[in-house]
Homo-oligomer: A and B are copies of this chain.
Amino acid sequence: MRKLAHLEIPRPSPEELETLPAHPITVVLDNIRSIYNVGSIFRTSDAARIEKLWLTGYTGTPAHRGIHKTALGAQDTVPWESTGNPKEVIEQFRKKGYTIAALEITDTPMFPAQLQPAHFPLCLIIGNEVSGVQAELVEMADLALEIPQFGAKQSLNVSVAFGIGIFDIVRRYRALFHADELPPLPQPLDTLPSS
């Protein structure tokens, strides 16, 4: 068994990558305080190949110099848009037929492994490091996804929780749909209407 050197690791070229479909998951990052968490989430989003990151509230953007240390270039490979109001983004995706899911601990917990085909495409809301997803956004959601935890703390770092959660959702999606029978990709929401 031999460790691969950096340049030996197979990666799609930028041209190949553009022809590959994304998993039908879009993510709203609301009120993330630390630009390092934003950068790490960009890097994880590249690896999970989601559709797009929506940066809402006071979440920092790739315009912030500090992001480069943790995003390591993923800010250029993951589609993203910064917009102040998370409610408008969520409403637009609801109208497009997305299931709205908060990654949050609620009175009706559900694990990613319980997602059904009709739950895709899916819009996942991630909230603040300390206070989590805003209560009014949780109320807008169709369901709340939770990571099964077995310890004393019930508290994960937000970029770690996002990593575990998004890879769980991607795994579930790929288990539900055969890779060669991927459902047609939903029309991407490139920009928000100005209304």
A interface residues with partner B (beta carbon < 8 Å): 1-4, 9-12, 14, 17, 20, 23, 40, 43-49, 70, 72-74, 77-78, 102, 104-111, 113-116, 118-119, 132-133, 135, 138-139, 141, 143-144, 147-157, 159-164, 167-168, 170-171, 183-187, 192-195
What is the distance, in angstroms, from A163's C-beta to the closest C-beta of chain B? 4
CB–CB A183/B150 < 8 A: yes
Known contacts being A3-B132, A9-B105, A106-B1, is A186 close to B149, with CB within 8 Å?
A: yes
CB-CB < 8 A to A161: which residues of B? 163
Task: Please give, as numbers and ranges, the residues of chain B lying within 8 Å of A193 by CB-CB distance.
Answer: 108, 110, 114, 143
Nearest chain B CB to A174 CB, angstrom units: 9
B47 near A149: Cβ-Cβ < 8 Å? yes
Question: Residues of B contacting A70 with CB < 8 Å?
Answer: 157
Check if B138 sits within 8 Å of A1, measured CB to CB.
yes
B153 touches A192 (CB 8 A): no
Bound CA–CA A105/B46 (angstroms): 17
Closest B residue to A187 by beta carbon equals: B109
| Distance in Å: Cβ of A169 to nearest Cβ of chain B | 12
User: Shortest CB–CB separation between residue A144 and chain B, in angstroms?
Assistant: 6
Q: Is B156 in contact with A44, judged by CB distance below 8 angstroms? A: yes
